[in-house]
Chains A and B, each alone.
Chain A
Amino acid sequence: MSWLTEYVRPKIRTLLGRREIPDNLWVQCPACQQMIFSRELEKNLKVCPHCSHHMRATAAERLAWIFDESTATRIELPKVPADPLRFRDSKRYADRLREAREKTHLEDAILVAHGSIGGQRAVVAAMEFDFMAGSMGAAVGEGIVAAARLAVLQEAPLIVFTASGGARMQEGAVSLMQMPRTVIATRLVKEAGLPFITVLTDPTTGGVTASFAMLGDIQIAEPGALIGFAGARVIEQTVRETLPEGFQRAEYLHAHGVIDMVVPRPVLRDTLARLISLLRVREAA
């Protein structure tokens, strides 16, 4: 299988090799406005120590936080045709892509790695909201498919951290077709008898929510995360009603039976480890 030799070749990179944060920096919490010492914030997994507000995290941080220390190996993702529509609005999509790559040091809005969580093998895909609002084009779709295939190959559960504004408009119907493509990916994992767990983070909307994000065997959300299909503004314009308090937030979805649990970031790894061990009786036997 060519896809295998293409990207499963272990290429160990340090997940923590991102830009260093200066020690003396203060960050203001967008929720409670308190100042937080940046090192303390990092240590606290970007959760405000004053009000527990969960700040957005990068894909690299997700991977670094979730795997057991130094067990993670990032895989290279298959290349997809860039800019299939030769799209341009006020800017060329090709330029937007280049800028996003420079800004995030990522190829596209997804990272995939394998490693262990609580001593158990797992494959994790994490979406990067900073890369064109985590929008799903062919590269993200291919990343989910690759992660699913890797999970099947390694007989490991697949965990996906979602963060997305929806479809990548600049890829038109190609981005739309990532919905069925990623749904197929979830089927591959489930048919192999492996758990598929989604961790919905702020924000997860549009075509990502309406495909793989909502097909988890177990669905977890971070506190306060905005999760929905349609955007709040579009809904307001359509129904001309004021949106209810907490609408489309993790806790609202939990109350409406859409997700299994709202899990604070500091206990997420333990929760995932427990879920995997509870689900994988067959393997342990």
Chain B
Amino acid sequence: MRHFLDFEKPIAELEGKIEELRRLSDPDGINIADEVARLTEKVDRQLNVTYARLTPWQKTQVARHPDRPKASDYFAALLADYTPLAGDRAYADDAAIIGGLGRFHGHSVVALGTEKGSDTDSRVAHNFGMARPEGYRKARRLIELAGRFGLPVLSFIDTAGAFPGIDAEARGQAEAIARSIEACLAAPVPFVATIIGEGGSGGAVALAAGDRVLMLEHAVYAVISPEGCASILWRDAAQASAAAEALRLTAEDLKRMKLVDAIISEPIGGAHRAPAQTIATVGQAIEEQLVPLLPLDAATLIARRREKFLEMGREAAA
């Protein structure tokens, strides 16, 4: 069953009607087919209009849509011979961050992603994509492994943020994130990061300090969740919509401020309506960004990556 967001109500109603009509066994089948076609066209039009002008808060909801393709879906579709690797070699394996070796469009790569899971069991198993220190330490280990063997790193980010827990703090959550960012910046290999859903705060940057940072059209990338921002600055979590607006967290905003490098278009109605198509488009976009990086040597890659981040925010772009 399709999951509809609040603002998709008119679309849900139309699709409900289509379903009903299809279920009717009726001698005048032709008329029903006409009506279904007419309604389907209406749905498409409605989706087009709605998704062309999503508000930042609506985009946040789309970015969090339960049917939106997850990091593991990208791995499954884009990587041949995917071989997961596990553990931080110190404490545990954190399933909130998945990663391993695989072949992307023929290139052997290290893939990394924050994984939210796609049903109740897997969501719990992956801790809803919120990593603990061992997750970031695994990421760092895999980035260093990539460096040792000259393999490009591809990361897929979709997380509300790092896990706020007693155990996470006790094991050095902040240090683990800092070291993961450091590993991204020091990687002697091409590094392409893609924000596929939610880019939540430091827990997202930990895997996203790459040569190229791509963002799906309806993904969001922010320093704090709109709800968190609203409860601090507006003292009212219900003001999340206003906070989402103020935070400028859309792909368009980040591109304009030169904080991300490219936006990847989503199918009409969002990635969750056509996951396979979305993943293929993302694969093409990554390939386009990766190929020009492949001939560059380690020193050039690191120097340019640093320069890119050091330039961020230095000029006014609003």
The residues of A with any CB-CB pair to B shorter than 8 Å are 80-81, 83-90, 138, 141-142, 145, 167-181, 183-184, 186-187, 206-207, 209-215, 228-231, 234-235, 238-239, 241, 243-244, 247-248, 252, 256-258
Contact = CB atoms under 8 A, between A and B. Distances in A.
A176 B177 contact: no
A86 B248 CA distance: 10
6 smallest A-B Cβ distances: which pairs?
A230-B164, A81-B316, A209-B174, A89-B233, A210-B177, A229-B174
B257 interface: yes
Contacts of B172: 214, 256-258
Contacts of B179: 214-215
B169 A180 contact: no
Nearest to A188: B306
B178 A210 contact: yes
B184 A180 contact: yes
A85 B246 CA distance: 7
Contact of A172 (B168, B170, B173, B222): B222
Contact of B178 (A142, A177, A211): A211
Contacts of B224: 167, 169
A84 B318 contact: yes
B314 interface: yes
Given A180-B184, A183-B182, A183-B185, A169 B312 contact: no
Contacts of A81: 313-317
B313 A84 contact: yes
Q: Is the interface of B mostly helix, strand, loop or mixed?
A: helix
12 contacts: A173-B259, A180-B309, A183-B182, A210-B173, A211-B177, A212-B178, A230-B168, A234-B164, A241-B166, A243-B166, A258-B172, A258-B175
B43 interface: no
Contacts of B173: 210, 228-230
Contacts of A187: 182, 185-186, 306
Interface stretch (B96-104, B201-209, B292-300): B201-209
Interface of B: 162-166, 168-175, 177-179, 181-182, 184-186, 201-202, 205-206, 209, 221-224, 228-229, 232-234, 242-243, 246-249, 253-254, 257, 259, 306, 309-310, 312-318
A176 B202 contact: yes
Nearest to B259: A173
Contacts of B177: 210-211, 229
A236 to B, nearest CB: 9
Contacts, number: 182
Given A184-B185, A184-B309, A169 B315 contact: no
Contacts of B233: 89-90, 169-170
A194 to B, nearest CB: 17
B310 A145 contact: yes
B229 to A, nearest CB: 5
A89 B246 contact: yes
Nearest to A190: B182
B169 A176 contact: no
A213 B174 contact: yes
Nearest to B239: A89
A174 B313 contact: yes
Contacts of A228: 169, 173-174
A231 to B, nearest CB: 8
A247 B170 CA distance: 8
Contact of A210 (B174, B185, B222, B249): B174
Contacts of B246: 85, 87-89, 172
Contact of A247 (B162, B166, B185, B306): B166
A176 B205 contact: yes
Given A214-B178, A215-B182, A173 B306 contact: no
Nearest to A241: B166
Contacts of A214: 172, 174-175, 178-179
B317 A84 contact: yes
Contact of A84 (B164, B306, B316): B316
A210 B168 CA distance: 13
Given A212-B178, A229-B174, A247-B169, A177 B309 contact: yes
A171 B257 CA distance: 11
Nearest to A256: B170
A256 B177 CA distance: 17
A116 to B, nearest CB: 29
Contacts of B178: 179, 183, 209-215
B229 A169 contact: yes
A208 to B, nearest CB: 9
Contacts of B232: 169
A238 B165 contact: yes
Given A167-B224, A169-B223, 14 more contacts: A80-B313, A81-B315, A85-B246, A89-B242, A142-B314, A180-B209, A187-B186, A214-B179, A228-B174, A229-B164, A229-B169, A231-B164, A235-B165, A247-B166
